Amino acid sequence: MAAKYKRVLLKLSGESFSPSGERGISMEEVVHISEQIYEAQQLGCEIAVVIGGGNILRGSQFKAKNDIVEEATAHYMGMLATVINGLALQDALESVGCKTRLMSAIKMDGVCEPYIRRRADRHLQKGRIVILGAGTGGPFVTTDTAAALRSMELGADILMKATRVDGIYSEDPEKNPHAVMYTDLNFQTAVEKNLRVMDSTAISHCMEHNMPIMVFNFRKDGNIIKAVTGEKVGTLVTNG
C-alpha cells in the first residue's frame, strides 16, 4: 500500500482534540490522531497540518454587542489557542515516532519557529510533519482559509479536512438524520447549494487554483490512511 498523494495539507479542527461535546485538550484523543498521521506518513506522504483552536476558544464567543473584547482581539486570542493545540500535537506526534516542526504565523521564538514558506517546504522534504499554527497571522481569517492558502503555498496535492461527520451532506446530518451525503461534488454545486464544505473564502481560493478538497470523518479508525491512499472515503470536491 502506497500513498496516492505525495504532499497533503491536513486541516484538523480544535474539536478533534477533545471528546465529542467537550472542550479542552484530551491527550488520549490527540495521540489517537497522531498515530493515524504517523501511519499515513510512513506510506511516503509528506504531511502539513493546520490546526484550529475551537476547543479552547472561539472568537465568536466575544461577539455580543456590549462585550469589552474587540473582535480583532478575539481573533488573535483564537490564533494563540491554535498554537497551544499545536504544542500538544507536536509532543503527541513525537511520542509515536514522528519528526516534527511547529511553525507559527505569529512570531513567538521561545515556543516555535516562524512560518516561512521555503523553510516549511524544506522540513516536509526532510520527512518532518509540519504543524502550522496561528492561522495566517491576521484577524478576520478562519483556519479554513488559512488551510486553503497554505495548501497552495506549499504545493499540496490535496487539502484534506477532518471533521466529525462522514462527509458533505445536503443538510446538517446532526440535525436532520435524512440528509444525503455526497461522495463526489464539484465546487460550483457546493457554492450554488451553499453546502458547508469550508467557509466561502476558502472555497473560492481552492476553486480558483484547482485545489481538490476531501472531507472525511477523522473519528473512524483508518480514514486518514484511506484518504492518503486514494480509497473512497468521505466527499471529494473538485472542479470536475
Task: Map out the domains of the chain with their CATH numbers.
Answer: 7-232 (3.40.1160.10)
Per-residue pLDDT, 63: 64
Per-residue pLDDT, 193: 87
| Mean per-residue pLDDT, 182-195 | 90
Whether 25 has a pLDDT exceeding 80, the answer reads yes
Whether 221 has a pLDDT exceeding 90, the answer reads no
- 16 in helix, strand or coil? helix
DSSP 5: -
Q: Which residue has the higher pLDDT, 68 or 155?
A: 155
Per-residue pLDDT, 203: 92
| Mean per-residue pLDDT, 114-136 | 98
Strand partners, 127: none
- Rounded to whole angstroms, how far apart are CA atoms 194 and 176? 16
How far, CA to CA in Å, does 197 sit from each of 40, 185, 201?
23, 10, 11
pLDDT tier at 69, thresholds 50, 70, 90: confident
First to last CA, the chain: 26
Within 13 Å, how many C-alpha atoms sit on residue 93's CB side? 25
Per-residue pLDDT, 111: 95
Sequence-separated contacts (24+) of 202-209 with Cβ below 8 Å: 202/142, 202/144, 202/145, 202/147, 202/148, 203/148, 205/145, 205/148, 205/149, 205/152, 206/148, 206/151, 206/159, 206/237, 207/239, 209/152
| Cα 226-228-233 angle, rounded to 5 deg | 40
| Mean per-residue pLDDT, 20-26 | 87
- Rounded to whole angstroms, how far apart are CA atoms 182 and 166? 10
| Mean per-residue pLDDT, 196-206 | 88
| Mean per-residue pLDDT, 7-23 | 90
Per-residue pLDDT, 67: 73
